[in-house]
Amino acid sequence: MTAVTEAPRHTRTRPVQVGIVDCDTHNYWDDQSELKPFLDPRWHEHLDTLGLRRYSGGSYPRFWDDAIDTRPPSGRRSGSDVGFMGTDLLDRHHIAYAVLIPLTSVSGLLNLDLANAMATAINDWQAAQWLDKDDRMRASISVATEDPVAAAAEVRRVAQDRRFVQVQFSGRPAEPMGRRRYWPIYEACAEFGIPVMSHAFGSSGQPITGAGWASYYIEDHVGPAISVQANIVSMIMEGVFDRFPGLRLVSVENGFAWAASLRWRMDQAFELLRSEVPHLSRRPSEYFEEHVYLATQPVEEPEKREYFQQMLEQYPGYVDRLLFSSDYPHWDGDAPNRAVPLLRDPEARDKVLRRNARRLYGLA
């Protein structure tokens, strides 16, 4: 889909640094038939006749999915042309690496056999059509999170290719992310030293709120910050990071201004109820500081500039855990020079745009 207005991502407001890492780049196929060469033939007719059956959920506004200036000259849909993406995003903004996140809704499929087959096909498609064609691309491993044992096997198969740098986990799973049913996935991540990534925004899975399905798209646009906090609390309180101390969680497209208050609230609850979670060896905020990374998009922009700086001061770990993300090719994405406009310190900007992601993903 195309957007009704041109995105402001190319308006330069600050000098652009080189060697940037974009941790939220969405890649698509132009037509689902492009996946067939990578998909078990038993599913070809199934998709043609029955399609994909998934949980109901919110959808993107009809004309507000991708920015109009991200449509390639070939006429393909935005985000589906690797050559144009390389020029329009990476070359234009001096991006050294783009971490691909295919929004395919695999985790929302109700037919788990099909979900697993689709995940395998998507991973092979990414390797052949994206990673092999531009060595600046890195990818997320697609898995059917509601079949954790099969998902873990897929992680072990794909993660041998080190160009896959994280595992894509639905931000709106059937149960909170800390539940033990999902631990086989985390075990596989830990074996290969790769993070698990939670992307709550999209159009499948459970309600993005804690109170059921919302009426309006604007509610879904605000909701990811709610969903990811519940999943972070679950992973900490259930003991995921004690069981897998090397595991890291990357929160993408969920904002980040809420981090300080969430840490305070968790620690306060821990002081009152720590006897319920004797398996925790530290305060919840300490797990957060060590294990949770936060992508910048959509950046919160308060009405007064000083509020942004005060927010950073409330959680000093922000500058070591924030990751630049463009959300390309979506209509509301951010260019590097616009992603953290109120982050004034050059050292902090360098960490957010480059160094934090390079350290997390093991990039040169």
Structure tokens at 307: 């509020």
Give domain limits for the chain.
8-361
Q: What is the structure's pLDDT at 57? A: 53
Q: What is the structure's pLDDT at 204? A: 63
Structure tokens at 258: 């809420």
Angstrom distance (rounded) from CA 88 to CA 224: 27
Q: What is the structure's pLDDT at 64? A: 54
pLDDT tens digits, residue range 248-263? 999 999 999 999 999 9
Q: What is the structure's pLDDT at 62? A: 52
To which CATH superfamily is domain 8-361 assigned? Metal-dependent hydrolases (3.20.20.140)
Q: What is the structure's pLDDT at 293? A: 98
CB distance 135 to 123 below 8 Å: no
Q: What is the structure's pLDDT at 352? A: 94
- For residue 335, give every residue at least 6 positions away whose Cβ sits within 8 Å of its Cβ, in sequence order, or none: 9, 10, 11, 12, 93, 326
Angstrom distance (rounded) from CA 298 to CA 152: 30
| CB burial of residue 15 (10 Å; 0-12, 13-18, 19+) | exposed
Angstrom distance (rounded) from CA 313 to CA 28: 38
Structure tokens at 214: 């919302």
The DSSP output letter for 331 is: T
Q: What is the structure's pLDDT at 291? A: 98
Helix, strand, coil shares of the chain, percent, nearest 5, are 45, 10, 45
pLDDT tens digits, residue range 185-233? 999 999 999 999 998 776 567 887 878 888 888 888 888 898 999 999 9
Angstrom distance (rounded) from CA 280 to CA 335: 39
- State the alpha helices, DSSP H only, in the chain: 44-49, 82-85, 112-126, 148-158, 183-192, 217-222, 224-237, 240-243, 259-273, 284-291, 305-314, 318-321, 336-339, 346-350, 356-361
Q: What is the structure's pLDDT at 160? A: 98
Q: Which residues of the chain have pLDDT under 50?
A: 1-15, 63
- For residue 137, give every residue at least 6 positions away whose Cβ sits within 8 Å of its Cβ, in sequence order, or none: 82, 97, 98, 100, 130, 131, 163
